[in-house]
Structure 1
């Protein structure tokens, strides 16, 4: 099996993600997406945690500004319109199903965990449940893979192309500041 393309995490990455989350990062397999400055934005998490707990959310949004932007969108109640789009637009529904299948393939390339078989994240393939997870997948997979994640990123007030990482302990030499 091949593993999805992501960077192996450095100690600085783990420290940064821990600071972003406000708790110790755990079971981080890699950094699946980064800010323009190089700071972690999405972590790839093991499908089974060290304590044995199945963990379906392989792509986890860690960047505080990105997380806040997705929370703002959820609070603005955009999920029902995105849900309607999945249900009413055949092309969007098919792309959302394909995103779900790609997510499962990525996770299963790491490990197959029977307890979470066919469960991806964010409500895929038929519901729009968590914009954080869908945006994380869109950032990790790249544009055009997860249509709802792409729409959430486009509608939010955060961009991975604009650095908002100044308050995090990112080594300027290694992160490109």
Structure 2
């Protein structure tokens, strides 16, 4: 999915979604069908100097709530078992890990940053574990279907859908 420039309105919306000021947004990586931000693309080093490996950060309140429920249901253990027993899924997950790092490396280069502290680290437990569905679905939404198999499966199992707006009507 193509990144889009984050407008002042986008940053204000993300801040509202998070309940705190948004930090170091490079772009919007995925949007709701209504146009509001769903996933932000974040700088690999925050303004205060902190390394930040979570390139794709899910901000949409309805999505994060639904994914929290999915995590609480034990679905991550099912996905971890699938990862351990399905070589095709494991290989695709390894490729997703590398794609995530490549995206962040591109951002580092574009911003003129060097963040060696997070070199080789992606998010969500990739490439060998299923640790955070929020991160994996954020990556799946940003990259599009077929890039992150675990994120895709979790998104399919989630009660929230990017195809239907669940944003508050202000």
TM-score range, shorter chain: over 0.9
Match of 1:14 in 2: 11
Q: For residues 63 and 149 of structure 2, what CA distance do their matches in structure 1 show?
A: 17
Q: For residues 73 and 40 of structure 1, what CA distance do their matches in structure 2 show?
A: 21
How many residue pairs end up in the alignment?
A: 165
CA offset digits 1:38-82 (Å, max 9, x no partner): 000000000000011000000000000110111001100111110
Which contiguous aligned blocks of 4+ residues in structure 1 show a shift greater than 2 angstroms? none
Q: Return the match for 2:143 from 138, 141, 144.
A: 141
Q: For residues 45 and 75 of structure 2, what CA distance do their matches in structure 1 show?
A: 31
**Cα drift, residue 167 of structure 1:** 3.7
TM-score normalized with structure 2 length: 0.95
**Cα drift, residue 166 of structure 1:** 2.7
Secondary structure, in 3 states, of the residue corresponding to 1:42?
strand
Match of 1:164 in 2: 166
Match of 1:24 in 2: 21
Match of 1:153 in 2: 155
- Extract unaligned runs of 5+ from structure 2: 109-113
Secondary structure, in 3 states, of the residue corresponding to 2:46?
coil
Q: Return the match for 1:127 from 112, 126, 129.
A: 129
Q: For residues 57 and 130 of structure 1, what CA distance do their matches in structure 2 show?
A: 11
**Cα drift, residue 21 of structure 1:** 0.4
- Extract unaligned runs of 5+ from structure 1: 169-177
